[in-house]
Amino acid sequence: VLPDGPGRIADIVPAAALARRDGDIVIRRLADRAILPGFVNAHSHSFQRLIRGRTQWRPAGRVNADFWSWREAMYGAALALTPESLYDAARFCFLEMLHAGFTSVGEFHYLQRDGDGAAYDEPNALALRVIAAAEAVGMRICLLNVAYATGGIDAPLAPEQRRFATPELQAYLDDTAALADAVRARPLASVGVAPHSIRAVPREWLAPIHAWAKNRDAPFHIHVAEQPAEVDASMRAYALRPVDLLAREGVVGPELSAVHATHLTPDEVALLGGARATVVACPGTERDLGDGLLPAGELVAAGAHIAIGSDSHTIIDPFEEMRLVEYHERLHRLQRVVIGHNHGERFSSAPALLEMGTHNGARSLRFHGGRIDSGTLADFIAIDLEHRSLAGWTRDSLAAFIALCAPADIVTDVWVDGVQRIRQRRHEHDDDATAAFRARTLQP
Ligand SMILES: [Zn+2]
């Protein structure tokens, strides 16, 4: 039962009971469909959709391509953006997400200034464009406003990082508060904070930014230990590994979302797990960038929550992201069915993976969603039970088909905030958003 007020599921009742209800209830039967909670994309940089497919090579004379060489291409794309092209890239990226079954996104937004590194008259100009892009296609968005002050620990920003600069802590917090105020009445938008990484903010900034988030029950996200070089830099500067540093600054708690967390010691795993923190896994991007393998089994066993994100958008596919968390563990351990829970006589992975893709992401972004239940946000998707990839499903095996085997093409219909945004694989902005995006990618 969808609400007469906006946004939330009013009730879950058997179909037969609906007819006995008072009021104007419209019954819509979805033949050969199953309903799932919408997937939550807990880590995205939507403009990076522009460089998909354009970084899959290295200069012939260069022996290595890695995260750091990829980053040069990403900086080039970031410097070329205008507010208008950023809007077109973000809108298309969010549209692609909706088609794949994501209904909400945590947009880790670090574009603050113009191409020359000067502040816009409206300091949140670009963040507001990205939020507007999500609203235009009906995607729920938590704009994670990024603090970015150093080009490495104690190092000045590099010239190519000039658009990211938030040089003063108080101004950053004031701007973020103004952004939160600006979207307060908008049903699809919310705001959180994100010190970019321990490389990009002084350690003294971590506690006050965290306090800001805690006071407002807002999300606190940070990239953590994606690359060994960050761990080495942290050891050199602080004689602490990244998670140890975060713990020392008092920010490791249930409200922390640590993005990537690929290079952890057992002690760091125990810290994150003991705090019931969230780790946002982005395995589609991590495999693309050669970042390393998440110690997912250890994190789950220690008590951490894993959510998923499509990060750089090399692929946009929640099914692939959630199953890679499990499949990477299989490759790493030479075992099967690593992450999961006991369900009666069996230990199975599918329910735990679906939880990562939905409820854990909602928890990370502080949404009351990711589940289909009375009072939760009405963000859900329909999948095609007649799809070729699902042939042979049974009640017993359907969750495994979905979580471990099926393509995102099984998604046929998408509702966000109780409003149907995609109907039979069509969105009303498919044509114009795609054309606008293609036009942007034709530019050098
Ligand atoms: Zn990221």
- Please tell me the distance from the alpha carbon of residue 57 to that of residue 20, in angstroms, as a whole number: 63
Q: With the CA atoms of 341, 358, 430 and 144 taken in that order, what torsion angle do they form, in degrees rounded to the nearest 10?
A: -130
Q: Please report where in the chains the tokens 């946004």 appear, as a residue.
A: 7
For 346, the 3-state DSSP assignment is strand
Prediction pTM value: 0.96
Gap from CA of 48 to ligand 1 centroid (Å): 10
Looking at the DSSP bridge assignments, the partners of residue 35 are: 382
Closest CA to 163 of 120, 106, 131: 120
- For residue 104, the model assigns a pLDDT of 98
Query: Are 333 and 340 spatial neighbours (Cβ–Cβ below 8 Å)?
Result: no
Catalytic residue among 43, 223, 260, 427: 260
Is residue 4 part of the annotated active site? The answer reads: no
Gap from CA of 169 to ligand 1 centroid (Å): 21
| CA atoms within 13 Å, Cβ hemisphere of 302 | 23
Closest CA to 195 of 153, 162, 134: 153
The two tokens of residue 47 are 């403009």
Residues with CB under 5 A from ligand 1 (ion): 311
Burial string for 344-370 (b: 16+ CB within 10 Å, else e) reads eeeebbbebbbbbbbbbbbbbbbbebb
- For residue 442, the model assigns a pLDDT of 74
Gap from CA of 324 to ligand 1 centroid (Å): 17
Rg of the chain over all Cα atoms, to the nearest angstrom: 21
Which one-letter amino acid corresponds to residue 422? I
- Please tell me the distance from the alpha carbon of residue 323 to that of residue 45, in angstroms, as a whole number: 21
Backbone angles phi, psi at 140, to 5 degrees: -75, 135
**Secondary structure (DSSP) of 200-262:** TS-GGGHHHHHHHHHHHT--EEEEESSSHHHHHHHHHHHSS-HHHHHHHTT--STTEEEEE--
Closest CA to 70 of 87, 53, 93: 53
For 281, the 3-state DSSP assignment is strand
Is residue 409 part of the annotated active site? The answer reads: no
Q: Which helix (H) or strand (E) holds 288?
A: helix 283-289
Gap from CA of 312 to ligand 1 centroid (Å): 7
How many CB atoms neighbour CB 71 within 10 A? Answer: 16
| Maximal C-alpha separation, the chain | 74
Kindly report, residue by residue over 207-230, the tens digit of the pLDDT. Answer: 999 999 999 999 999 999 999 999
Backbone angles phi, psi at 203, to 5 degrees: -60, -30
Gap from CA of 386 to ligand 1 centroid (Å): 36
Q: Please report where in the chains the tokens 């235009």 appear, as a residue.
A: 136
Which stretches of the chain drop beneath a pLDDT of 70?
Answer: 1-6, 21-23, 443-444
Gap from CA of 283 to ligand 1 centroid (Å): 11
Kind of pairing between the strands at 380-384 and 346-348: unpaired
Query: Are 196 and 144 spatial neighbours (Cβ–Cβ below 8 Å)?
Result: no
Query: Are 109 and 144 spatial neighbours (Cβ–Cβ below 8 Å)?
Result: yes
Query: Are 44 and 309 spatial neighbours (Cβ–Cβ below 8 Å)?
Result: yes
Catalytic residue among 311, 379, 384, 417: 311
Kind of pairing between the strands at 33-37 and 346-348: unpaired
